Structure formats: structure tokens, C-alpha cells
Amino acid sequence: MEAVIASFEPRAQKEKPVQATQGVPARKGALRLLMAVLGRGSPLELAIDSSLDGITMANDRALARHLASTVLRWLPDLDALIDSATPKPLPDDARARMVLRIALAGWLKLGTPQHAAVATALPLVEGGPRRLVHGVLGNLMRGEAILPEVPHLPDLFAIRWAMDWGPEVAEAAARSLAEEPATDLTLRDPAETAKWAEALGGVSLLPGHVRVRRHKELGGALTEWPGFAEGAWWVQDVAASLPVRLLGAQAGESVLDLCAAPGGKTLQLAALGAEVTAVDVSEARLERVRENLARTRLSATLVVGDALRWEPGRLFDRILLDAPCSATGIFRRHPDVLHLKGSRDLTPLTLLQAALLRRAAAWLKPGGTLVYATCSLDPREGERVAERVVATLPRTPFAADELPLGLEATADGWLRTLPGMLENEGGMDGFFISRFRKLA
Ligand SMILES: C[S@@+](CC[C@H](N)C(=O)[O-])C[C@H]1O[C@@H](n2cnc3c(N)ncnc32)[C@H](O)[C@@H]1O
């Protein structure tokens, strides 16, 4: 998973006052989404099409997604409230628990009036569970039910991130989970930064970057924002734009973008004027790259291929390997990664990452530069993988004057972006970025 190039769903914010059972389709959609993520372990983005099938109103779709995302941000806290009001614990994936989570998220976080939260919950359950949902909501609404100011991370991540990065990073991660983050855009032409920052009502943290907070004037779908149709920008967290910035590609150089889809970094490289070959194993995801290249009027050679078997038959000046990973660094935008079952065993991923890195290194010209990056907060997918190749591929540490945003390299010469960094400006995703040069 990676920064989405463009979400085509309009965003729902505070829910408008709901009449009686208006809003039931959105709750049904949210319920199906949560069943897919929490019941079957599907990533939220992959569950959207099937879960929201039949929900035609854009507002209902947006609200369904926003409710599901809000539940995922506050899951341990919502569950603690539910457990405090049920006679015996409900199974994690019980329909009644899912419906209660949605009703409480609507009431406590989206401003749904109490009567509407109840009226939209009850049609989703029948029989005994319906009486249970009614009773639990009644109990909680009569009492002093509140959510904490800062959500609790699931225990696994609270403990792991405190151990790996320190308690202050885990605390910042929890703070950053409370709200949907701002939308970051990367511009096709960095010379137009001021123009687009003004047109979009955003702020720029770097040349070629604009950060847009959700605001009423823009509202609606991203596709309607100024500059979308003409391909002036694409959605990409500021941290996700750093690997290409640090690869140092020049116009006319040959660059291999390995594991390229959905293509944020391919677009960045193509915008620099590099001759880009973008490879991805997923034809469907590569189609997104194709669409985005067409919209931005940029070009790259696209190859559907498994990088473990594909052979380029040539060498490249520079290679970017943005490897598949657990995506825990993008939990603010994709809170489902904190709850996906099956994502706990990292061994297959770390073996794949190391194998991809070794293959990529073989395709580099002598003197060429390779960047290995992941959007994971787990050192087993970042530092530990990079350390495995340094004996054969010397690292090129990041110099202080080439690191933007006040970032500093680690003692080993890598770059780590972590929760808490840029917090006053709205934060950034968690990335690991390493750079190597092949001896000439
Ligand atoms: C982290 S995402 C890449 C994000 C992309 N670089 C961007 O900036 O938009 C990882 C990608 O690796 C692809 N992938 C996974 N295994 C692969 C393999 N064996 N060969 C090629 N691509 C692979 C996935 O399909 C996925 O699109």
C-alpha cells in the first residue's frame, strides 16, 4: 500500500443533522467495510468497490468510508466503551459490536445526534442483537460516555513503537491518529508552487509541495480541485516525495522505478525529465500509473512484471526501489493497517525486500545510485534490509545540506521519518530511505 494518487471519493466531515433513518445506506456501507477489514483482514482500499456496491449517492459513499475510517482510528476506545456497557463481552467480529462501533463513532466523533445514531443503527441488526444494540446505546447515552482526547493505539503498536523509537514517538503516533491528515500534493512543476498553494488555499513545506487542509471552499471531490484536470499535481505525502528528491535523477538519465504503482514516484521522476522504466507486478495498479501519466501529460515506459523474475537486459543510471511493505508508516491515512490480521508475520516481506534489493543492485551501472525506501515503521523492513547489502553496495550517506524540512540523517547515514516530526505543520508519514552507490 502507498500514498493514493487521487481519491475519487468526496470527503465527509461533520455529519449534517440526520432525520430519522436518513443515513442508513452509509451505515450499511460502513458495516460491510468494517466486516471486510476487521472480519476478513482485507485492506480498506481494496474493500471499497465490493463493500459500497449499490450505494450510488456520493455523500453516502463518502460517509460510509469516513465512518469506517473513524471506527478504525478509535477502535480500542470504542471497544472499551462497548465492553463497559455489555453484560458479557461480544466477539470482536460480532455484527452487534460492529454496529455499536459505527453508531458510537457517528455520535461521539462526527456529531450525529443521539436519536439519529440509534435510528440508523437499529435497521442493521435484528432480533436479540437489535435489543442489545438498543440497550447498550441507551445506557451509554444516558451516562457520561466520552472518548479520550487522544486515541489509544492497538497494544501491539503502542508497545512496538515505544520499544523501537521511544515512548514519545508512540505518543505522537497516537496523537496523529485522532484526525484525518491534511492532503499533500506534489506538483508537476515546482516553479508553480506559490501559484498552486494560493489556488488551493494550501501551504507549501517544500518547492513542488502543497499541503491542503480539508476546507469548505474546496470540499467535494479532489477531482474537482483546481489543477486536477490539467494534471498540475498528484496526491503524495511529503515524506513519500523524499526518496525521489534524494535519488538525484537528472533529465535524460535512465531510471528504473521498481515496484512503481500507483506511481507517485514515477510521476516525480518523469517530471524531472528522466527516461523512466516503471515496473510493477500488478497490472491493475499499473493501470493507475498509466491514467496518472496521461492526466499529467508525463511519460514513462510501463512494464508489468515480477521483479523477482523480470530481466531488464540493460543497466540504469539510477534505481528507485520503493518496496512492498507492511505500510505501517502510513497508518494516519490508512488506519486499517493497525488492525489487519495476517500482517504480523513480516518474514515473507523482509525476504522479498532483500531479494528485490539484491536484484536491483545488479541492474545498476557502475557509479550509479540506488535508493531503497519503504513506508514502514518497522526497522526489520528498513534498516535491517539495507544493512544486508552494504558489504557489496556502499551506502551514500545523506549530507545535512541535502536533507529538507530540518530532517537529520541517522548515525548510520539513513533517513527515518517518524510520527512527531513536523507535528506543528500537520505531521508526515513514516518512511525509511537509504541510498547506495555502485563502485565505478
Ligand atoms: C509501496 S508500493 C509502491 C508505491 C509506488 N512506488 C508509488 O510511489 O506510488 C509497492 C508496489 O510493489 C509492487 N510489487 C510487489 N511485489 C512485486 C514484485 N515481486 N515485483 C514487482 N512489483 C511488486 C506492488 O504491486 C505495489 O504496487
CA–CA dist 397, 414 (Å, integer): 6
Identify the residue whose C-alpha is closest to ligand 1 atom 27: 261
Query: Which alpha helices (DSSP H) does 316-402 contain, by range?
Result: 347-362, 383-389
H/E stretch holding 432 reads strand 431-437
Check pLDDT > 70 for residue 8. Answer: no
Mean pLDDT of 157-168: 97
What's the CA gap between 172 and 89, in Å, rounded? 30
Report residue 346 CA to chain centroid gap. 18
Task: Give the mutation target among 245, 281, 287 for probing the ligand 1 site: most ligand atoms within 8 A of CB.
Answer: 281
Atom of ligand 1 nearest to the CA of 310: 20
What pLDDT is recorded for position 221?
81
- What domains lie within the chain, and their CATH numbers? 24-142 (1.10.940.10), 183-235 (3.30.70), 239-437 (3.40.50.150)
pLDDT for 217 beyond 60: no
- Nearest residue CA, atom 15 of ligand 1? 324
Mean pLDDT for all residues in the chain: 92
Q: What is the pLDDT of residue 81?
A: 97
Give residue 379's pLDDT: 97
Q: Is the pLDDT of residue 420 over 70?
A: yes
> Angle 95-109/114-121 helices, nearest 10 degrees?
160
Mutate to test the pocket of ligand 1, among 236, 245, 247, 259 (most ligand atoms within 8 A of CB): 259
Sheet holding 233-235, edge to edge: 209-212, 183-187, 233-235
Q: Is the pLDDT of residue 10 over 50?
A: no
Distances (CA, A) of 143 to 175, 369, 398: 26, 61, 55
Cα–ligand 1 centroid distance for 352 (angstroms): 11
Q: Which residues line ligand 1 (CB under 6 A)?
A: 2, 259-265, 279-282, 285, 306-308, 322, 324
Q: Which pLDDT score is estimated for 21?
A: 61
Q: Which of 280, 283, 296, 326 to mutate to test the pocket of ligand 1 (most atoms within 8 A of CB)?
A: 280
Q: In sequence order, what are the residues at sequence separation of 6 or more whose Cβ sits closer than 8 angstroms to the Cβ of residue 207?
A: 190, 193
Provide mean pLDDT across the span 52-56. 93
- Residue 218 predicted with pLDDT over 70: no
Nearest protein CA to atom 6 of ligand 1, as residue:
260
Residue 432's pLDDT is what?
98
pLDDT band at 19 (very low <50, low <70, confident <90, very high): low
Q: Which of 146-160, 328-342, 356-370, 409-423 has the lowest mean pLDDT?
A: 328-342
Looking at residues 178-204, what average pLDDT do you find? 96
169 Cα to the center of ligand 1, angstroms = 27
Ligand 1 atom nearest the C-alpha of 322 is 6
**Residue 14 pLDDT > 90:** no
Say if residue 322 carries a ligand binding annotation.
Answer: yes
Atom 13 of ligand 1, nearest CA residue: 259
* Atom number of ligand 1 nearest to Cα 375: 1
Which of 218, 330, 354, 375 is flagged as catalytic?
375
Q: What is the pLDDT at residue 215?
A: 55
Q: What is the tens place of the pLDDT at every residue in 248-294? A: 999 999 999 999 999 999 999 999 999 999 999 999 999 999 999 99
Which residues, 6 or more positions from 18, have their beta carbon under 8 angstroms from its beta carbon?
Answer: 112, 113, 116, 119, 120
**How does pLDDT run across 92-122, given as a tens digit for each residue?**
889 999 999 999 999 999 999 999 999 999 9
Distance 86 CA to ligand 1 centre (A): 43
Looking up cell 538525484, which residue turns up?
A: 248
In this prediction, residue 301 carries a pLDDT of 98
**Ligand 1 midpoint to CA 287 (Å):** 13
Q: Which atom of ligand 1 is nearest to the CA of 261?
A: 27
Q: Is 261 annotated as a binding residue?
A: yes
Q: How many angstroms separate the alpha carbon of residue 323 from the centre of ligand 1?
A: 6
Annotated catalytic residue 375: yes
ipTM: 0.99
223: DSSP letter: G
* pLDDT computed for residue 213 by the predictor: 86
Q: Was 263 annotated as part of a binding site?
A: yes
Q: Which residue has the higher pLDDT, 11 or 72?
A: 72
* Cα–ligand 1 centroid distance for 122 (angstroms): 42
Q: Sorting pLDDT into bands at 50, 70 and 90, what band is 4? A: very low
Residue 347 CA to ligand 1 centre (angstroms): 17
**Beta strand pairing call for 301-304 and 275-280:** parallel
Of ligand 1's listed atoms, the one at least distance from the Cα of 257 is 6
Atom 11 (ligand 1): residue with closest C-alpha?
A: 259
